[in-house]
Structure 1
Amino acid sequence: MADLKKMYTTILGDHFPMEMKITFGDQELVYRKKTWKIVAEDGSVDERGVRYGENPDQEAALYELINGNLVLGDCRFIEPGKGLVSGINVEDMLQVGKHPGKINLTDIDNGLNIIKYLMDRPAAVILKHNNPCGAACGDTLARAYDRANRADRIAAFGGAVILNRPCDKETAELLSKNYLEVVCAPEFEAGSLQILAARKNLRVVRISRIDRLAEYEKYRYVDFKSLIDGGLIVQQSAVNSIRSVADLKPAVSISKGQEYKVEREPTQREIDDMLFGWAVEHGVTSNSVIYVKDGCTVGIGTGEQDRVGVADIAVYKAYTKYADILCFDTFGIPYADMVLEIEQGKRKKADQEKIDGQTKADKAGLPGSVMISDAFFPYRDGADVGIRQGVSAILQAGGSMRDFETIQACNEAKPQVAMKFTGQRSFKH
């Protein structure tokens, strides 16, 4: 068992070259491998790159773009000198914890990919396995983080937290109560690092350029997908074009010469949640459906093969997480621990019945939420899942031959459900 545990903390090392060049016709991009000279507990200095890849037996390397100005057609791609994750220096590793691995870095990156659209107010995103498990805005950074954490306290365990404001002492106190892998922020205010230091294995990373993250909204980068035969698929990176109410499109469809349109317009609160939810969707593995409410995720369904299935999964997760946080607030223990104590005869079954009853009565906080789908609903059954739970509005891409059915579902709902189209799909594979 000791050897099995050791493999997760061992720095594998790599044989990747220090420099990599990629040629696009007569244009060239030049990358330099990132390594860090890190002081060990015994005082020795070890210069290494990424600890290992997705698994402990996979070598990996991080490269930073250092030269090249790629232009293909009308697209000018991001230029050197704008490093975020790839620009992390040893001075930015304010607390090393365990040497960073590939998953830590890609979680930070996708957190930045989401939060770059939420820079107008304090926001926090918590990620696991390159998907958000909780995202929220708040009047303060501490409030934003607390809401994101409470949205899915279970999945947040061992997660990576990305903050878009300097971490203050109040936020650090909340962070220190959780087991986390990474905390990343543009800066850490006086006293916050001392609080976080209580978590010895926590990686604390400063990325100073986060305060300019809104500039990255329109930057395109070359997105590579490697195939098992050694081939590559190359695409432009995605850009979220739904940034204001003016970008939302009316939910209108014509079928067999008849026009169908949603009868109720969304409120300002629903519009705000649509824009927030679409920003979060930008970093969720497809097929995905999420529910958001008052600038906070309620349920996140990711990576499912069918849309009605992922809508159901997001509801299931909302109920599971709601029951857990309700149990934690009421009894001070996770829901799973309560169930175990009941099975062991240490607690009365009535405690579980109380939590389950309240969760069912509250419908896990889903009533009044906004349902976000990263693509169109091929049938109305996906939208019906959310409508039955009491969502008040829906945002989806639109463009299905059966859009009229989903429009009918919104108009038939009591009370009626508002809906807007984006005209943009937000797939992420």
Structure 2
Amino acid sequence: MSDLKKMYTTIQEDPFPQDLTVTLGGQTLVFAKKTWTIDGEQKGLRYGENPDQPAALYQLKDGALELGGVRFRGPGRGLVSALTEEHMIQAGKHPGKTNLTDVDNGLNILQYLSARPAVVILKHNNPCGAAWSAEGLAKAFERANLSDRIAAFGGAVVVNRTLDKATAELINAGYFEVVAAPDYEPAALEILKTKKNLRIVAIPGLAVLADYVGEPFLDVKTLMDGGLVLQFSFRNRILEVADFLPAKTETKDGKAFTARAPSPAEAQDLLFAWAVEAGVSSNSVIFVKDGATVGIGTGEQDRVGVVQLTIHKAYTKYADLLAFERHKLSIHDLREKAASDPALARSLAEIEAQTKADRGGLPGSALVSDGFFPFRDGVDLAIAQGVTAIAQPGGSIRDWEVIQACNEAAPQVAMVFTGQRSFKH
């Protein structure tokens, strides 16, 4: 067992060269491999996605790229790829690929949430909880963490404001592997450093992420045969409430369908949810309530299936919060102990009944979907859980049917179109 544990801390010797040059139609980009001296050892990435995969991180150092009249992000704009030893305030060990890509996806989401203090907690390159709050960073972290307390365990915390003492105390009350912020208050660092295995990273660019919005980078996908797919990175067109499109359509026989417009509060939740959606693996939906995620469904194969899955997850997380509040146990631990403890069994039954009655905390929430609804079944499921507003791309031949589902609801459910899909494969 001790030998197996060593593979997670052993640094793979990588065979990758110091420089990488990419030429596209006469335009040349030059990248340099990143290494860091930590505990006297100069190495790059510890390993890739798994401990037996050598890996390397490269930073764009020189060159410019323009395609179709669009200029791509160039040198001097590095964030995660620009990390130095100075930025790794507490490294513990050389970073692995997954540590950095989780943080990177946090930045990908937070670039659209600069208006308020915001927090994203990520696991396996997906957000498990996200929130923003005018009340400050600590409140945003608390709500993001409570969005999915179970999944947040061992995750990466990424914030868009200087991390203060109050937020540090909340982070230290749980277990996280990485925390990234634009800067840290001295008192916050003192608290965070008591967790010796916590990687503490400063990324100054987190404070100016809004400057990166609309500026694409070259997104490279590698096929298993070694081939490449190049694409422009996703550019979110919904940057403010006014960017949403009215949900309206007309059938072939000329019958018009128009959905209710969202209230200002509903529109803000849809705006927040669509920003988070940019970092979620498709096929996905997200439930949001009062600026915090309530349920995040990822990577399902069908639209109605992902709604079902996300509702199930929301119920589980809601029951877990009740179990933790009453017994300081997770819902899974409570179920195990209830099998031999009659008092806990009664409490478990009460928690499950309350969760069902409260519909997992979903009533009053807003829903976004990264792709259009091909049928009304997914929308009907969400409405049955008390959703009051929905945002989706639109463009289905059955948009009329989906709008009709919202209009038939009592009370009537709002819907808007985003005019773009947000798939992330």
TM-score scaled by length of structure 1 = 0.97
Deviation at 1:362, TM superposition (A): 1.1
Q: Hey, what's the Cα distance between the residues in 2 that align with 1:134 and 1:73? A: 37
Q: Hey, what's the Cα distance between the residues in 1 that align with 2:219 and 2:3? A: 37
Equivalent residue, structure 2, for 1:240: 236
Deviates more, 1:387-396 or 1:95-104: 95-104
Q: Match of 1:86, SS?
A: helix
1:105 to 77, 85, 100: 100
Equivalent residue, structure 2, for 1:219: 215
CA contact (8 A) 1:165 1:187 kept: yes
Deviation at 1:168, TM superposition (A): 0.6
How far does the alpha carbon of each residue in 1:6-63 deviate from its partner, in whole angstroms, 9 at most, with x for none? 1011111211011000000111000000000112xxxxx1001011000000001110
Deviation at 1:197, TM superposition (A): 1.6
Q: Structure 1 residues 411, 422: CA separation in 2 closer, same or farther (over 3 Å shift)?
A: same
- Where in structure 1 are there 5+ consecutive unaligned residues? 40-44
1:293 to 289, 294, 303: 289
1:32 is the counterpart of 2:32:
yes
1:71 is the counterpart of 2:66:
yes
- Where in structure 2 are there 5+ consecutive unaligned residues? none
Deviation at 1:75, TM superposition (A): 1.3
Equivalent residue, structure 1, for 2:315: 319
Q: Match of 1:228, SS?
A: coil
Deviates more, 1:341-350 or 1:224-233: 341-350
Deviation at 1:254, TM superposition (A): 1.2
Q: Hey, what's the Cα distance between the residues in 2 that align with 1:263 and 1:224? A: 38
Equivalent residue, structure 1, for 2:325: 329
Q: Hey, what's the Cα distance between the residues in 1 that align with 2:236 and 2:10? A: 39
Q: Hey, what's the Cα distance between the residues in 1 that align with 2:148 and 2:93? A: 25
Deviation at 1:245, TM superposition (A): 2.2
Equivalent residue, structure 1, for 2:144: 148
1:125 to 120, 124, 146: 120
Deviation at 1:334, TM superposition (A): 1.0
Give the partner amino acid of 2:17.
P
Equivalent residue, structure 2, for 1:349: 345
1:179 to 175, 179, 186: 175
Give the partner amino acid of 1:217.
V
Deviation at 1:342, TM superposition (A): 1.1
1:188 is the counterpart of 2:168:
no
CA contact (8 A) 1:262 1:418 kept: no
CA contact (8 A) 2:118 2:140 kept: yes
Give the partner amino acid of 1:218.
G
Equivalent residue, structure 2, for 1:386: 382
CA contact (8 A) 2:161 2:181 kept: yes
Deviation at 1:326, TM superposition (A): 1.4
How far does the alpha carbon of each residue in 1:327-380 deviate from its partner, in whole angstroms, 9 at most, with x for none? 111221111111111123374311101111111111111111111000110000
CA contact (8 A) 1:151 1:296 kept: yes
Q: Hey, what's the Cα distance between the residues in 2 that align with 1:49 and 1:63? A: 10
CA RMSD of aligned residues (A): 1.0
CA contact (8 A) 1:274 1:370 kept: yes
Please show how residues 53-72 of structure 1 align to structure 2 within 5 Å. Answer: 53-72=48-67
Deviation at 1:258, TM superposition (A): 2.9
How far does the alpha carbon of each residue in 1:251-270 deviate from its partner, in whole angstroms, 9 at most, with x for none? 11111223333342210000
Give the partner amino acid of 2:146.
R
Deviation at 1:194, TM superposition (A): 1.5
1:135 is the counterpart of 2:130:
yes
Q: Hey, what's the Cα distance between the residues in 2 that align with 1:198 and 1:384? A: 49
Q: Hey, what's the Cα distance between the residues in 1 that align with 2:104 and 2:344? A: 45
CA contact (8 A) 1:98 1:202 kept: no
Deviation at 1:294, TM superposition (A): 0.7
Equivalent residue, structure 2, for 1:13: 13
Q: Match of 2:82, SS?
A: coil
1:197 is the counterpart of 2:209:
no
Give the partner amino acid of 1:35.
T
Q: Hey, what's the Cα distance between the residues in 1 that align with 2:343 and 2:214? A: 55
Q: Structure 1 residues 331, 77: CA separation in 2 closer, same or farther (over 3 Å shift)?
A: same
Q: Match of 2:8, SS?
A: coil
How far does the alpha carbon of each residue in 1:399-423 deviate from its partner, in whole angstroms, 9 at most, with x for none? 0000111111001111110100011
